[in-house]
Amino acid sequence: MPKNKGKGGKNRKRGKNEADDEKRELVFKEDGQEYAQVLRMLGNGRCEAMCIDGSKRLCHIRGKMHKKVWIAAGDIVLVGLRDYQDDKADVIFKYMPDEARLLKAYGELPENIRLNEGIGGLDVEDEGAADDYIEFEDEDIDKI
Which of 13-17, 19-23, 122-126, 136-140 comes out lowest in average pLDDT?
A: 122-126
- 107 backbone φψ class: left, alpha, beta (φ>0; ψ -120 to 50): left
Question: Is residue 129 over pLDDT 90?
Answer: no
Residue of higher predicted confidence among 115 and 70:
70
Q: Is the pTM of this model over 0.75?
A: no
Average pLDDT, the chain: 80
Within the chain, how many helices (H) and strands (E) appear?
3, 5
pLDDT in tens, 27-43: 899 999 999 999 999 98
Domains parsed from the chain with CATH numbers: 33-106 (2.40.50.140)
Nearest in space to 113 (alpha carbons), one of 128, 123, 103: 103
Question: Is residue 117 over pLDDT 90?
Answer: no
Nearest in space to 34 (alpha carbons), one of 114, 95, 105, 116: 95
What is the predicted pLDDT for the residue at 24?
A: 83
The model's confidence at residue 10, banded by pLDDT at 50, 70 and 90, is confident
| Residue 33: its H or E element | strand 33-43
> What integer is the mean pLDDT of 61-68?
87
What is the predicted pLDDT for the residue at 123?
A: 42
What φ, ψ does residue 94 adopt, rounded to 5°?
-110, 130
Instruction: Using the CB atoms, write b or e for 80-105: b if 16+ within 10 Å.
Output: bbeeeeeeebbbbbbbeeebbeebee
Measured between alpha carbons, how far is 91 from 45 in angstroms, rounded to an integer?
10
The model's confidence at residue 16, banded by pLDDT at 50, 70 and 90, is low
